Amino acid sequence: MLVLGLTAGATAKVKVNNLVFNPSFEKDSSGKNFKVTGWTVVSDNDKDAAFTESGWTHSGQNKFTNWKDKDFKVYTYQTVENIPEGVYNFEFWYANGDGANDCYVELKDFGGDPVKIPITKSGSWIKKAAADIKITAGKCAIGIYSDAKAGYWINMDDFTLYNQKDLEQQ
Ligand SMILES: [Ca+2]
């Protein structure tokens, strides 16, 4: 069964083996970077709406941002490879403003039905999560989609994908 909206706290104090590369965007240099290390930005006209930047992060020095002074549509993804078959949990943190038309984070290509996590409005950092993701394809794509009006912003940080066994081994 798929459970969305896992509450904070369940995993906050345990150490897990995070399979996401550059999950907290700390591999990017400080300031503003339009090349997001380990992630691919796809857009017809709005690649400049996806970048990393420093300040007001959930953790560390950098965060991921979607923002543009014109209406924009941009998709950013990372495919995690070489994942052993198993049951995994996923979580990330974000904060955003007004102006979203259609924004979500999705998991796909992992061997099961895609998981789409809607992004709702939150002016402060909050966590969203998806549990019990059965990965059988040896990989999992993590995608961030923003279709938004000019001036919309979303900050994201600390993407985590880990095997549920990590929790049992604490
Ligand atoms: Ca960070």
Domain ranges of the chain: 3-7+19-163
CATH class of 3-7+19-163: mainly beta
Q: What is the DSSP letter of 45?
A: S
Distance 124 CA to ligand 1 centre (A): 15
| Rounded (10°) CA dihedral 73, 35, 137, 107 | -40
Distance 10 CA to ligand 1 centre (A): 21
Distance 1 CA to ligand 1 centre (A): 30
The model's pTM: 0.91
Dump pLDDT digits (tens) for 78-107.
999 999 999 999 999 999 999 999 999 999
